[in-house]
Amino acid sequence: MAVNVLFVVFVVSVLYFFFKWRNGYWRRRGIDGPEPLPMFGNILNLLNGTEFPPVLQIREWSKKYGKVFGIQEGWRNVLVVSDVDMLQELFVKKFENFHGRKLFSLASNPDTEPNVHVFDARGARWKRLRNLSNPSFSVNNLKKILPTVQHSVDVMVDFIEQHANTDKSFNIHTFYQELTMDVIARIAMGQKGTRQFANDYLENVKGVFTRPLNSVFVVIPFIFPFLQTFMRRVVMTLSKFGVRKVPFRELLRQIEEAVKERKEARARGEREEVDEFGNARVDFIDLFLDVEADSIDEKDQFDRSGQKVEKKMTISEVVSQCLVFLLAGFDTTANSLAYASFCLAKSPEVQRRVQEEIDEFCVDSEVTYEQLQKLTFMDKVVKEALRLYPLGAFANSRVCMKSTTLGEVKIEKGTYVQADVFSVHYDPKLWENPEQFNPDRWDSEEKRHLLAWFPFGAGPRTCVGMRLAYMEEKLALIKILRRFNIVAAPDTEDKLKLIGGSVVQPEAVTVRLQSR
């Protein structure tokens, strides 16, 4: 009995001192940071539910520890950076050393997973998938899908009109979510017609973004990386037998069925050549089924060891690309519209200037792509709203693929680097009166550091769908603001409450609409 007790004490002591040694990783390198817990590191502070998103916790740490500090996400060593010169090295100058992202704890290996998508992929696989995806977001293709986007916006405006000229406020963010889900389902999945407030994808898409990050299935792989594959299989098995609903898995199944049906229809010669507006059909499924990559450069700068690289996109990859664009196209634009609407409701004079610009350049009911480019003040409004409320801030991260340095800090292969976007966007040395919504600050944009603003990421991995997001957001603002004023109501928040996990969104954007 005594021997057993001594053995247990010995094992516990060894584990304690081992994790204590691991917890000192950054301090041994002269880098400060919050005190990590044994095994967990700082992960419990980051995954404490949706009421205080991880990006806001990181910003609080930045206030205390400065522009460079270290944390531990379980087994992961993470350097948090808000120094813009170091970030320029990270995203641009030393991209070949940091071309991989910091992935979700349950994510599969991006070098070997057959259905990897462009967001998770790295090295030659990322480069190939990015090249295959780029044509979907070309200016020429955006012009083709503009009528579809415009129709969905018109339907959304008809829905919100019922809330105009009443004393009751409403959450406009909900309507933006319906709009962006409708648009991306039509242009990515080939959905026919509009299905706002009746969309089959919406429940599962929302579920992906509202999933709790502090579940045991998420936390364990952070602490014990060797259990990652096992935990992922457990989650998928529970989902398969209905024990635990996994929105991501349900959404993947929906997309797999849609791609399978399209492929079978094409094999039968039933491919639709035009959409409901008489334009050439250009949804992402067909684009991805058709496309072939350019030949792979044998002298590619990325290490391709262990990676399977094909010239043509596989069916698994088609499904994965549609999945990631469905998720990204829904969330980012809906949130950006909500943030811009909140800022305009709080700044009536700015809103009036936007409306004057719309009245000058967008006279006809149908808006052209060329007219969108003339709305320069609206561009400033959107950019300023995104400065205050950056999108996908937690996704601005990298993993070191080859040992190097950032600034004066030595970074070992396998170390993660997390950009603190919020701290950069609110840095008083970069932005005068950073808490203030001031679109006119963008008049002197050329004097600003390249990495002072990056809500869509930076460098070669900048969001591929950025132009689509801008087009959709500007169309929605045009259609709303030329008919209505967005007005702050008595119950409109003084400051938006942000919620979420890996992705941040407003809890609500409560406003009223008044006819102009």
Residues 336-389: pLDDT tens digits?
A: 999 999 999 999 999 999 999 999 999 988 999 999 999 999 999 999 999 999
Of the candidate ranges 171-175, 262-266, 279-283, 392-396, the one whose mean pLDDT is the lowest: 279-283
In this prediction, residue 113 has a pLDDT band, given cuts at 50, 70 and 90, of: confident
Can you list the pairs that 466-472 forms with residues at least 24 positions away whose Cβ atoms lie under 8 Å? 466/137, 467/137, 467/139, 467/142, 468/137, 468/142, 468/329, 469/329, 469/332, 469/333, 469/336, 470/379, 470/382, 471/142, 471/146, 471/149, 471/369, 471/372, 472/149, 472/153, 472/179, 472/180, 472/183, 472/333
Q: What is the pLDDT of residue 280?
A: 66
Query: CB–CB of 145/282 below 8 Å?
Result: yes
Q: What is the pLDDT of residue 296?
A: 46
Q: What is the pLDDT of residue 12?
A: 78
DSSP string of 114-127? TT--TTT--HHHHH
- For residue 453, what are the domain limits? 2-515
274 half-sphere exposure, CB direction, 13 A CA radius: 4
Question: Residue 236 CA to chain centroid, in angstroms?
Answer: 23
- The total number of structural domains in the chain stands at 1
Among candidates 254, 276, 308, which has minimal Cα distance to 116?
308
Among candidates 510, 495, 509, which has minimal Cα distance to 335?
509
Render the burial of 418-457: b for 16+ CB within 10 Å, e for the rest.
Answer: bbbbbbbbbbeebbeebeebbbebbeeeeeeeebbbbbbb
Residues 6 or more apart whose Cβ sits within 8 Å of residue 480: 157, 160, 486, 513
Residues 6 or more apart whose Cβ sits within 8 Å of residue 310: 293
Q: What is the three-state SS of 218-260?
A: HHHHHHCHHHHHHHHHHHHHHHHCCCCCCHHHHHHHHHHHHHH
Residues 6 or more apart whose Cβ sits within 8 Å of residue 56: 422, 498, 504
DSSP 8-state code for residue 166: S
Of the candidate ranges 55-59, 265-269, 353-357, 460-464, the one whose mean pLDDT is the lowest: 265-269
Provide the whole-model pTM: 0.90
Q: Looking at residue 390, which CATH number applies to its domain? A: 1.10.630.10
Please say if the pLDDT value at position 435 is more than 80.
yes
Q: What is the pLDDT of residue 53?
A: 86
Q: What is the pLDDT of residue 111?
A: 86
SS3 409: strand
DSSP 8-state code for residue 348: H
Please say if the pLDDT value at position 445 is more than 70.
no
Average pLDDT over residues 250-274: 82
Of the candidate ranges 26-30, 248-252, 273-277, 411-415, the one whose mean pLDDT is the lowest: 273-277
Residues 6 or more apart whose Cβ sits within 8 Å of residue 277: 147, 148, 151
Higher-scoring residue by pLDDT: 16, 482: 482
Residues 267-312: pLDDT tens digits?
A: 887 767 667 776 666 788 888 888 754 444 545 555 554 555 556 7
Q: At what angle do helices 466-481 and 315-346 cross, to 10 degrees?
A: 40
- Please give the backbone phi and psi of residue 279, each rounded to the nearest 5 degrees, phi first: -95, 160
Average pLDDT over residues 199-203: 88
Rounded to whole angstroms, the Cα distance separating 274 from 511 reads 39
Q: By percentage, how much of the chain surpasses pLDDT 70?
A: 91
Amino acid sitting at position 464? V
Sheet strand arrangement including 510-515: 170-171, 510-515, 484-488
Residues 6 or more apart whose Cβ sits within 8 Å of residue 355: 481, 482, 485, 516
Amino acid sitting at position 261? E
Based on the number of CB atoms within 10 Å of its own CB, is 495 exposed (0-12), middle (13-18) or buried (19 or more)?
A: exposed
463 assigned ligand-binding residue:
yes
Rounded to whole angstroms, the Cα distance separating 429 from 431 reads 6
Q: What is the pLDDT of residue 9?
A: 78
Q: What are the start-end ranges of the H helices in 273-412?
A: 284-290, 315-346, 348-361, 369-373, 376-388
Residues comprising the chain, all counted: 516
Rounded to whole angstroms, the Cα distance separating 1 from 6 reads 9
Q: What are the start-end ranges of the H helices in 134-198?
A: 139-160, 172-189
Q: At what angle do helices 172-189 and 315-346 cross, to 10 degrees?
A: 150
